[in-house]
């Protein structure tokens, strides 16, 4: 059973906005809420170009201008404990959605400090302040990367995830453990969401589909890892946001166990389509949609711009979500297919870069 939560009129913190997922979530909330306050918190770091985050922030501000709810943007880091404490003192948040994190598997190999500060210390700061200022629901982003080298597919939240192959994955697994401990000790209703390869318009430029588009548009070759023998459970951004909003509305119920002690109000779900796409097929669809959008010419030589290479450190050959428990508890399965999603991205890319 879930404890139902009415979002309208509430004060909601979304960390990691105007990051990719955070921006879409805030825009969705502002479009639906007739009252209340949504606070976006992001440090606007230069992991990728800040101009894209600024563009997303402008879209949020447009949504706020037409909304019955108020939007406040705060520039800062969840790693700043004093700032986090001050915001909770000022706004008394009802719901917290933590999407702030240092992202990227490969970047973590050379920049570990950024992951410890944001993904570990920052999340700890949020848990601590939720303990002192109780919230109705803490929703936080985990990642499919926690499954590491698991060979059993599809990946289930019941599987062991004790063998991360990157520091990024290790920090996300650590967040799940911390959230469970705080849910048990302090009865903080917490739900973790393992996202599977999120993509779409205005996404992260370090993601493969985005960086490949840049290279192809510049006439450069793209590298296809593991010689193309890879599959990913790509999940379109609108499906991810729909999942988050449904989760926000249903917190884990507080219960007492047979020993008379509180059971942790804690839940963990996969959000993915459960339909892995072969990387070569994905690239072919991307190239076709780039041609359709006019980003690449009709006679584009696909074969000449592909280079098959070996596996990268920290990568895995396949990801596939078992989202059965999410569908059961929230009645939703991702619906947007790769063709639709990449078409929307290609059209956005053409407009954003004025091609």
DSSP 221-267: -EEEGGGG--EE--EEHHHHHHHHHHHHTEEEPPEE-TTSSEEP-EE
CATH number at 141 reads 3.40.50.720
Residue 265 domain-assigned (yes or no): yes
Residue 230 has phi, psi (to 5 degrees) of -140, 150
- Per-residue buried b or exposed e for 145-165, using 16+ beta carbons within 10 Å of the residue's own CB: bbbbebeebbbebeeebeebb
Residue 298 domain-assigned (yes or no): no
Query: pLDDT tens, 278-325?
Result: 999 999 999 999 999 999 999 999 889 998 898 877 677 888 999 999
Diameter of the chain measured on Cα atoms:
71
User: Looking at residues 31-49, what average pLDDT do you find?
Assistant: 96
Residue 158 domain-assigned (yes or no): yes
* pLDDT reported for residue 267: 98
Residue of 137, 233, 240 whose CA lies nearest to 193:
240
Residue 344 domain-assigned (yes or no): no
Could you give the CA distance from residue 225 to residue 282 in angstroms, rounded to a whole number?
13
Cα distances (angstroms) measured from residue 128 to each of 1, 118, 125: 26, 15, 5
Residue 16 domain-assigned (yes or no): yes
* pLDDT reported for residue 72: 98
Query: What is the Cβ-side half-sphere exposure of residue 49, based on CA atoms within 13 angstroms?
Result: 9
pLDDT of residue 105 exceeding 80, the answer is: no
* pLDDT reported for residue 317: 82
Contact of 61 with 133, CB cutoff 8 Å: no
Active-site annotation holder among 24, 48, 147, 168: 168
Question: Would you place residue 56 in the very low, low, confident or very high pLDDT band (cuts 50, 70, 90)?
Answer: very high
Paired with 309 in beta bridges are none
* Mean pLDDT, rounded, of the chain: 94
- Which residue's entry shows tokens 């059993």? 152
Domain count, the chain: 1
Structure tokens at 235: 């999940």
Residue 297 domain-assigned (yes or no): no
- Answer yes or no: 168 catalytic: yes
Residue 331 domain-assigned (yes or no): no
For residue 89, is the peptide bond before it cis, meaning its omega torsion is within 30 degrees of 0? no
What does pTM read for this prediction? 0.96
Give the range of the structural domain holding residue 12, as residue numbers without chain letter. Answer: 2-200+234-273
pLDDT of residue 273 exceeding 90, the answer is: no
Contact of 335 with 239, CB cutoff 8 Å: yes
Residue 174 domain-assigned (yes or no): yes
Residue of 197, 196, 214, 221 whose CA lies nearest to 309:
221
């Amino acid at each position: 059973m879930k404890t139902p939560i009415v979002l309208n009129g509430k004060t909601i913190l979304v960390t990691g906005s105007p990051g990719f997922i955070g921006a879409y979530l805030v825009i969705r909330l502002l479009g639906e809420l007739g009252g209340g306050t949504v606070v976006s918190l992001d440090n606007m770091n230069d992991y990728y170009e800040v101009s894209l985050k600024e563009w997303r922030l402008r879209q949020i501000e447009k949504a706020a201008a037409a909304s019955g709810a108020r939007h406040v943007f705060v520039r800062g880091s969840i790693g700043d404990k004093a700032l986090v404490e001050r915001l909770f003192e000022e706004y008394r948040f009802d719901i917290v959605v933590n999407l702030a994190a240092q992202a990227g598997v490969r970047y973590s190999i050379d920049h570990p400090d950024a992951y410890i500060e944001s993904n570990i210390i920052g999340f700890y700061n949020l848990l601590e302040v939720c303990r002192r200022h109780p919230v109705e629901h803490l929703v936080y982003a985990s990642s499919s990367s926690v499954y590491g080298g698991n060979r059993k597919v599809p990946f289930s939240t019941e599987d062991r995830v004790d063998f991360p192959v990157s520091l990024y994955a290790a920090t996300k697994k650590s967040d799940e453990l911390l959230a469970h401990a705080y849910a048990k000790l302090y009865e903080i209703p917490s739900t973790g969401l393992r996202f599977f390869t999120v993509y779409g318009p205005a996404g992260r430029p370090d993601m493969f589909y985005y960086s490949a588009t840049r290279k192809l548009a510049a006439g450069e070759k793209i590298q296809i890892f593991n010689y193309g023998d890879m599959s990913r459970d790509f999940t379109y951004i609108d499906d991810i946001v729909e999942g988050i909003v449904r989760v926000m509305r249903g917190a884990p119920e507080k219960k007492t166990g047979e020993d008379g002690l509180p059971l942790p109000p804690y839940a963990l779900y996969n959000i993915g389509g459960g339909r892995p796409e072969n990387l070569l097929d994905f690239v072919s669809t991307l190239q076709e949609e780039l041609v359709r959008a006019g980003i690449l010419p009709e006679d584009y030589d696909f074969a000449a711009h592909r280079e098959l290479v070996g596996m990268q450190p920290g990568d895995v050959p396949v990801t596939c979500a078992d989202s059965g428990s999410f569908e059961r508890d929230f009645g939703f399965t991702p619906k947007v297919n790769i063709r639709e999603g990449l078409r929307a991205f290609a059209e956005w890319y053409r407009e954003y870069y004025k091609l």
